[in-house]
Structures are given as structure tokens and as C-alpha cells.
Chains A and B, each alone.
Chain A
Amino acid sequence: MDLDLSPGEAAFRDEVRAWLAAALPARIRDKVRAQKRLTKADHEAWHALLAGRGWLCLHWPRALGGAGFTPVQKHIFEAEMVAADAPRIVPFGPNMLGPVLIEFGTAAQKAHCLPRILSGADWWCQGYSEPGAGSDLASLATRAVREGDHYIVNGQKTWTTLGHHANAMFALVRTDPAAPKPQQGISFLLIDMASPGVEVRPIVTLDGEHEVNEVWLTDVRVPVENLVGRENDGWTVAKYLLGFERTGLAGTAFSRQGFEHLKRIARIEQADGRPLAEDPAFSLRMAEVEIDLMAMDVFNLRMVSAANAGEAIGPEASLIKIKGTELRQRITDLLRRAVGPYAMPFVPEAFDEGYNDAPIGPGHAAPLARQYFNMRKLSIYGGSNEIQKNIVAKTMLGL
């Protein structure tokens, strides 16, 4: 057993690190570092740079314009991205729809959609959840009725992340309400957001931000050639995609970075005449988190390495998701607590580019409470942590 990178892996890491240092625009890096709001244009600019290097679509084979990374390379790459304060890749096209089309898409779908994901011509969003269908996704009610060579779609999607930037949505819709099991009557459709009858309404989250949306669909006409996989077999497609979604959710690189940030802040913040990092209670909390983080890192590497060897990752993905998200949340909790009373001030304008007023209190304090509340989402989405526990209990433990 060797927990260190092989010479080849280390060389790859150095290559990625050097490229990021040279290619990531300082303006964007500084925004990410200060947790300022990224605009659609910021994301697009960064995607274009990654695509230019061939590193936007990590899962895809090289022949299709992807990076063709092994799971280990992908892991290294993602850690370097976080460490460099690069914006995360907006996952819906590159990490979600891309792999789905490569597996299930028609030749025409691949030829049309994949290059447009790479070029940034399309911004995809994920239309799965509905007001009545969250954890119980298979109960979704958005209806698609075949009429000639179109589906007529009616219903409502919700929690659509960055749907206000998107021009296209991949959605799960019900095509056979009479199917014996709810999972059996579902299809996977590609919907042009510019179609008549698509309406996007913002949802403001508890931190005052606009990140998610409701998408209302009224008599939206979708050409039948936009069906991915077979009609009524969308659940198979969705489950395949979920596998890709869940591996990214451990977020150990974010935890590591958050922890390093916590150490920096705890050295600056003073408590009873000494740095907070030396406070008896707080330093032990930090130590405990670091132990969990070290173990989590290795857990993640075990999974990455198994995937590298071609093994299928089963319910372990659920374990990783639960532990990884809990850890990230604990770190944001400590970050908020670290700054004491200066977690209180809330100046939303301060997160826009070009805001230059002096911060209230130490500059590092401003985003921390907001981040803590925003990160509550980690244990809710991507399959809530309770649902992950149900999966583990059932499939891993046979209970």
C-alpha cells in the first residue's frame, strides 16, 4: 500500500498546477477567494479556458473532446482546481448530460450536443425535482404526451440550479402514468428553454441569493428526437447520471481548503489574549475536524483507486456523500464561529465585483455566516443524507 502519488501522478499534478497558475485569470481567482458572486460571463470565460486546454469535460473520452482522465487524474485535477481558487466547473453539461449522452444518446444527439457543451454554446440545467417530488423523485408529475412528432410537456420543476443562466434543460417527465411502478413511466427529455411555454422564476434562498429557480412548463412542444434512451426508460438514464453526481459530492478538496482557511483565520483571531488557534476548546475542535478530514481523504482515495481499477462504486458512494458533506458543514460552522461577533454584519453588496468600501471587521469575516447557511444545502441535495442512509441500510447492510 502506498498513499503517496506515484511519480507519474505527481508529474500530472505539477502539470495541472502550473497550468492553473498561468491560465486562471487573477480577477476571477480573486472573486472565488473572496467568495464574491460569479457572473454568468465569469463561468463562461473559465469554461472556455478549460475547454481550450481540453480539461472541461473530465469524464469524456479524448476522441469526443474530453480530458479522458482516469479517476485518479480526475481526483488530482479537482483538488488542484479548488486549491487554486478556480471556479468549479458548472456540472450540468460537462459532468452530467455529457456522460449520459455518450452512454445513451443517439448519433445525432451526440453530434449536436457534445460540441455545444464544449464550446459553451449551451448552458444546461437539471430538471428533476418538483414541488411534490424531492426525495421521492419517482413520484414526479410533469406530464409529456406524444402528439405526432412532438411531446407536449406540462408541469413544474423546482430547485433548478442556475436555471436562469440556462438555455437548455434535461428533464425527467412522465410519459406513462398507467405504468405498474412509478419508475417505469418516466422519460428523459432535452428541452429548449427558449420554447414557448417555459417560464423561469427565481427562488431566493435564506442567504438572500438567487441560485435556484422554479421552471414552469405549459404546453411546451419538444421534438421526439430529444428523447434520450427509450421512452418510459428514463429512470435507467437518471440512475446512471446519479452515479456521476454523487462522486463529486464528497468535496474533500473543499473541506481541505476550508480547513486551511480556518487555520489561517484562527491564527489571526484573538481570544483571551492569544490566537484562537491556541484556545483550549477551539483548538481541540479544529484538531478533531482535521482527524476526520485526514481519514476522509484516505476513504476518498480508496474509492478513487477502486474506480481506477475499474471496480463499480456501490453504496460506498453514499457513505462518502454523507461523511463528506457533514465534514464540509462542520468546517463552515467553525469558520463562522471563529470570527465571533463579526459574523453578524451582513452587507450583500460587498459580494459584487467593484465593491470597494472597507469591510466591517476583519475582511475574512464577511462571507462566513452566509456560507454556513448556504452550505446547509449539501446534506439536502444530491440525495439527502437521510436517503443515503436508507440506501446504505438496505443495499449494503441488507436491513
Chain B
Amino acid sequence: MASNRMRRIGKEIADIHADAHSQIKAEPFGNQDDVTHLRGSFPGPPGTPYEGGTYNIDIKIPTDYPFRPPTMKFETKVWHPNVSSQTGAICLDTLSTAWSPVLTIKSALLSLQSLLSTPEPKDPQDAEVANMLLKSPKEFERVARDWAVVYAGAPASADNGSGSSIDDTRQGAGEDSLAKYDGYNKNLIDRFSSMGFDVDRVVAAFRHVGVERRGGQDYELEENSMGEIAARLLGE
């Protein structure tokens, strides 16, 4: 049974690799030989606050897979009523009572992607998020977008939040004021300043968290660092 499971998972991973079209990915989490712990990812669906972000999923394959569903949770923090904002735990029937052995890791990841487009606040995993979606959808969209920018690497766009102040921040950051960036790459800082924070405050937060300058290179910040920076900026 065990080797059958390994063979099927191996085939599934190969199928996912062969299909570059869907932008769904799945790789062993750590040890390349261990296919029972995977990391999947998919892009946030267009037309949602999650657009442009990349969402990583922690996938554990049980011993009686495919007769029991894989255990999945969001590794990337996401503001969504059916995902715990604290633990990433997911409320989705496909991954529990509605699982079927003909479903695959890929089909499960596709269902998660479509869950992001179809939040169901009446059956919440995170009551706080669900309440916000029901009571003030605008506020929900704003927070969901902020989280997508901070945690999922979505581009900060000017049409979210209070437009004019963001444009001002951008224009103020001309060539002559590069000194303000204190040796950090401008794009790194702007990812936060475009959310409406002063460049000076962002730079201070970077210094506080101890982010590396890497000679002014643009690079991908660790999720932990981004969380700490955001917390610092939000005064938590």
C-alpha cells in the first residue's frame, strides 16, 4: 500500500510539472525524497484582493491517501473568512467530507484557489474576518489587499486605499531623496511606503527588524521579516 501511495504521488507531481499552464506548483517541502510532505503554491485569482500574490500551501499526505484527503493549510498568511488568519487552517468540504479518491493534489490546490474567489462568511473558519466581510466589505477588501501585499508579494497598486496620499509618497521619492532609503533597495521600501507609510518610518522599521541591505539589491524578504515590519508599522 505504502509504495502504491508513493507511486501515485510521484505521478501527480510529474503531472503538475508537465502542466506549466495552470501556474500550480508542488514540490517536496524539505527532503527531496520525502513526498509525504509537500509545499504547493498558486497565484491569487484575478479580480480579487489576492490578485498578484503567491500563496504557499503546506501539504501533508496521510498513509491511506488517496482514500483520505491530504491535510492542507495556508503557509502564506491570508485574510479570508474560510482560512484562519492565525494558523492558516482551512474550512473546505473538498478537503474533508466531500473528498473522493479520484481527486488529486492539483485539484485540491485548484479548489483552494477558487475558494479565494468565493468567500463563504456564513461557514467561517475565522469569525473575526467573516464579521468584517459581512459588516464592512470595503474594510475587508482593504485589509485583504494589505495582507496580500505584505505577505503574498502582491504589487502595491495606487488604486487601493486613499489614492492621492499614495501618489504623493511616490513622487516625493525622486532621485534626490534616495538618501532617505539609507542604503536599502528603493523597491523594498516602496512596497511598504506605497501602503501609506512614510519612507522614514519604513526605513526605521527595517533597521529595527534588522533587515539586510545586501548592497541595495532588490530581493525577496522572508515572511517573518515582513510580518515583523508590518507589526512595527502598525504599532503592534
Task: Say whether A associates with B.
Answer: no
Q: State the A residues within 8 Å of B (CB).
A: none
